[in-house]
C-alpha cells in the first residue's frame, strides 16, 4: 500500500502538514502504508501533472485543489484554493469525507490536526511543538520582526533551510522524513541541515543589506526589486524588520522556475489593513491569504511582473490614503 503525499514545497507549513498527515494516516488509516512525498510549487500554467498521483491513495496538503479522480485526501486553508469554479463545484459535490477546506485556519498543519482529532479521533498531543510552530510561522504570529529575521529558534532556522535550499526533492526526501521522527532542535542540529543553514544565512544577511538599499517606502507601501539576484527565497519578514513603517510590501523576484510578485502586510504595524491581498493577486492568476499572497509568472516575464507590481503598489497606496481620509 503506497500513499503519495503532495505538499506545498519550500514552505515550513507545507512540510509540517505532510508530517502531521503521515502521523494521522499511520495511526488512524493504515499503519503499514508506505508514504512518499512530492513537492508542489505555484507557477504559471498547469499546476498538476496527472502522473504525480501514482499511489494507491493520493493526498494534497497545503496546496490547491485537484479534481482528479485519483485524489483521495485533500486539506487546505488558502483563500485561493481552487483554480476554477468547476474545481470548487467538484469539491462541494464530494462525499468521500476525506477532503477538507477551511480558510479561517492560519496554518494547514493545525487544520489537519483539528480535523484528524475531530473527525477521526487522532490524538496529536505529542506533535504539539510542530503544530504550534507551523501556526506561528505560516500565520506570521512571531512576537516581533526581530524573532522572525534573526532566526535563533530551531524552527526559524529550519524555515530558512526549507525555503532557501534548491536541491531537487530536498524537502520531500530529507526534511519531511526527519519531521516525522525527530523534534525540531534535533533536526536543526543534524550536520547536513546545520551546514545548509549556515550557508543560507550568509545569503540571508546579503539580502537584508540588498533590501535595505533597494527598498522604496512611500505612503505606507514598500516596494523593492531583487529579480537580478535569480533567487526568490528571501525571508518575507525582512522588509518589516528594516522598514517598520511599511503597512504593505510588494516585491519582484525571479528564479529558473518563475518570476514572482510577492505581496504582504506588516503584522506588527497597527495600521488597519482592509485590503484583501489574495483577492488582488487572484485578478492576475495568483492568490494566497488575505494578509499575504503572490503571483507567479513564467520565467523571463520580468517586464510584465514589474508592470503588475507597480499597479498593485499604486492600488495599495490609494487604499491607505482612502483609509486616512475616512
Q: What is the pLDDT along the chain (326 residues), one digit of tens a residue?
A: 999 999 999 999 999 999 999 999 999 999 999 999 999 987 765 568 889 999 999 999 999 999 999 999 999 999 999 989 999 999 999 999 999 999 999 999 999 999 999 999 999 999 999 999 999 999 999 999 999 999 999 999 999 999 999 899 999 999 999 999 999 999 999 999 999 999 999 999 999 999 999 999 999 999 999 999 877 668 999 999 999 999 999 999 998 888 999 999 999 999 999 999 999 999 999 999 999 999 999 998 999 999 999 999 999 999 999 876 65
- Dump the DSSP string for 92-116: HH--SS-EEE-TT-S-HHHHHHHHH
How far is C-alpha 207 from the chain's CA centre? 19
Any domain includes 38? yes
For residue 220, the enclosing domain spans 215-325
Residue finishing a domain among 147, 169, 203: 147
CA-based nearest residue to 25, from 129, 110, 115: 115
Identify the pLDDT of residue 44: 62
Query: Do 14 and 140 belong together in one domain?
Result: yes
134 in the same domain as 9: yes
Determine whether 326 is exposed, middle or buried from the number of CB atoms within 10 Å of its CB (0-12, 13-18, 19+).
Answer: exposed
Whole-number pLDDT of residue 209: 96
Q: Is 314 left (phi over 0), alpha (psi -120 to 50) or beta?
A: alpha
Tell me, yes or no, whether 234 and 140 share the same domain.
no
- pLDDT value at residue 230: 74
Say how far apart CA 246 and CA 10 lie, in whole Å.
Answer: 26
Judge whether 173 lies within some domain: no
For residue 234, what pLDDT is reported?
81
Task: Please identify, among 127, 147, 167, the residue that sits at the C-terminal boundary of a domain.
Answer: 147
What confidence score (pLDDT) does residue 300 get?
Answer: 87
Asked whether residue 142 is assigned to any structural domain, the reply reads: yes
Residue 321 placed within a domain = yes
> C-alpha dihedral over 230, 232, 234, 239, to 10 degrees?
100
49: which 3 cell numbers?
A: 501533472
CATH code for position 294:
3.10.310.30
- Structure confidence at residue 141 (pLDDT): 96
CA distance 306 to 2: 44
Return phi, psi of residue 250, to 5°.
Answer: -125, 130
CA–CA gap between residue 54 and residue 7 (Å, rounded): 15
Tell whether 139 and 220 lie within a shared domain: no
Q: Based on the domain organization, do 117 and 19 belong to the same domain?
A: yes
Contact 226, 253 (CB under 8 A): yes
What distance in Å separates the CA atoms of residue 290 and residue 219, rounded to the nearest whole number? 20
User: How far is the C-alpha of 260 from the C-alpha of 258, rounded, in Å?
Assistant: 6
Tell me, what DSSP letter sits at residue 167? S
Residue 291 lies in a domain: yes
- The total domain count for the chain is 2
DSSP strands (E only) in the chain: 2-8, 34-40, 57-61, 73-76, 99-101, 216-218, 221-225, 248-254, 259-265, 287-288, 292-297
Asked whether residue 221 falls in the same domain as residue 129, the answer is no
Give me the pLDDT at residue 166, please. Answer: 87
Q: How far apart are CA 48 and CA 204, in angstroms?
A: 31
Per-residue model confidence (pLDDT) at position 231: 72
Which of residues 130, 147, 164 is at a domain's end? 147
Same domain, 136 and 247: no
Shared domain check, 219 and 142: no
**What residues contact 307, with CB distance under 8 A and at least 6 apart?**
none
Amino acid at each position: 500500500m503506497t500513499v503519495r503525499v503532495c505538499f506545498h514545497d519550500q514552505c515550513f507549513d507545507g512540510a509540517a502538514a505532510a508530517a502531521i498527515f503521515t502521523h494521522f494516516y499511520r495511526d488512524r488509516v493504515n499503519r503499514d502504508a508506505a508514504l512518499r512525498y512530492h513537492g508542489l510549487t505555484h507557477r504559471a500554467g498547469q499546476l498538476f501533472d496527472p502522473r504525480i498521483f501514482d499511489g494507491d491513495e493520493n493526498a494534497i496538503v497545503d496546496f490547491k485543489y485537484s479534481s482528479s479522480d485519483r485524489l483521495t485526501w485533500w486539506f487546505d486553508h488558502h483563500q485561493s484554493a481552487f483554480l476554477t469554479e468547476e474545481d470548487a463545484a467538484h469539491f462541494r459535490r464530494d462525499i468521500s469525507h476525506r477532503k477538507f477546506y477551511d480558510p479561517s485556519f492560519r496554518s494547514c498543519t493545525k487544520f489537519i490536526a483539528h480535523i484528524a482529532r475531530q473527525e477521526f479521533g487522532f490524538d496529536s498531543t505529542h506533535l504539539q511543538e510542530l503544530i504550534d510552530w507551523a501556526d506561528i510561522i505560516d500565520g506570521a504570529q512571531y512576537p516581533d520582526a526581530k524573532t522572525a529575521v534573526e532566526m535563533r529558534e530551531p524552527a526559524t532556522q529550519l524555515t530558512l533551510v526549507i525555503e532557501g535550499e534548491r536541491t531537487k526533492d530536498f524537502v520531500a526526501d530529507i526534511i519531511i522524513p526527519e519531521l516525522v521522527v525527530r523534534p525540531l532542535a534535533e533536526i536543526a542540529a543534524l550536520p547536513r541541515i546545520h551546514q545548509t543553514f549556515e550557508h543560507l544565512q550568509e545569503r540571508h544577511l546579503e539580502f537584508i543589506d540588498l533590501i535595505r538599499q533597494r527598498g522604496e517606502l512611500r505612503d505606507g507601501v514598500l516596494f523593492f526589486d531583487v529579480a537580478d539576484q535569480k533567487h526568490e527565497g528571501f525571508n518575507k519578514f525582512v522588509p518589516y524588520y528594516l522598514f517598520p513603517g511599511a503597512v504593505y510590501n510588494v516585491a519582484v523576484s525571479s528564479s529558473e522556475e518563475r518570476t514572482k510578485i510577492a505581496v504582504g502586510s506588516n503584522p506588527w504595524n497597527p495600521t488597519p489593513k482592509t485590503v484583501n491581498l489574495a483577492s488582488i493577486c487572484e485578478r492576475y492568476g495568483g492568490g494566497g491569504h488575505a494578509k499575504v499572497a503572490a503571483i507567479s509568472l513564467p520565467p523571463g516575464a520580468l517586464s510584465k511582473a514589474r508592470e503588475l507590481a507597480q499597479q498593485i503598489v499604486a492600488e495599495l497606496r490609494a487604499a491607505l490614503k482612502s483609509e486616512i481620509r475616512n
